[in-house]
Amino acid sequence: MQGSQPSLFRSLIWWTVYSVCGVWAMYLVPGVDFLLPGLLCSMQEGNKAQTIWLMLLFTLIQEGAGLLAFGPGLLWYAMACLLFYLGRSLFEAENIVFILILSAAMGAGHVVIGITMRHLQDVAILLPRLVSDGCLNAVTIPLVWFVVFRLRERELRNVNAA
């Protein structure tokens, strides 16, 4: 998906619409991160400045919308970036198998982060809820990634054609 990048204005509009849709989807399906697939697509594009800004924005959204004190959103996106860049050395970044493995790891990571925060912040979070949210994330992330990847690929193709 690497290639020429859309203009800053076009990119800003695209990612703003994506962020609004992601927040709306997270409202409809609590416990699932609909913003992470966009961050994965941004990392696949190789635009580091865009990825850093999106990670900052998505972390602030997650931290502001969450019920826990500061930390889980930061850990979540840091883990995603670490796993992405480590896994990229083993798999092609745009390979669906890579995304499936990454999603499964993020689903497990959701449970680990939840358990950690539950103990650190002395909050009553039910383990079955954490596990079901982790499984839901592991299933939802690849599906949303596929849609976002295709839409973003079309956007970049339109930029290359112009």
Selection from 31, 32, 23 nearest residue 60 by Cα = 23
CA–CA dist 32, 58 (Å, integer): 13
CA–CA dist 153, 20 (Å, integer): 20
CB atoms within 10 A of CB 44: 22
pLDDT of residue 64: 72
CB atoms within 10 A of CB 139: 14
CB atoms within 10 A of CB 23: 15
Q: Which pLDDT tens digit goes with each residue over 121-151?
A: 777 778 898 899 999 999 999 999 999 999 9
pLDDT of residue 106: 95
pLDDT of residue 57: 93
CA–CA dist 16, 67 (Å, integer): 24
pLDDT of residue 6: 66
The band of 8, judged by pLDDT with boundaries at 50, 70 and 90, is confident
pLDDT of residue 58: 92
E strand intervals along the chain: none
Q: Which pLDDT tens digit goes with each residue over 63-94?
A: 776 555 666 788 889 999 999 999 988 888 88
pLDDT of residue 75: 87
pLDDT of residue 116: 85
pLDDT of residue 159: 57
Lowest mean pLDDT among 17-26, 46-55, 149-158: 149-158
* b/e sequence 66-82, b meaning 16+ C-beta within 10 Å: eebeeebbeebbebbbe
Indicate if the pLDDT at residue 3 is higher than 80.
no
Selection from 111, 148, 118 nearest residue 132 by Cα = 111
Average pLDDT over residues 98-112: 94
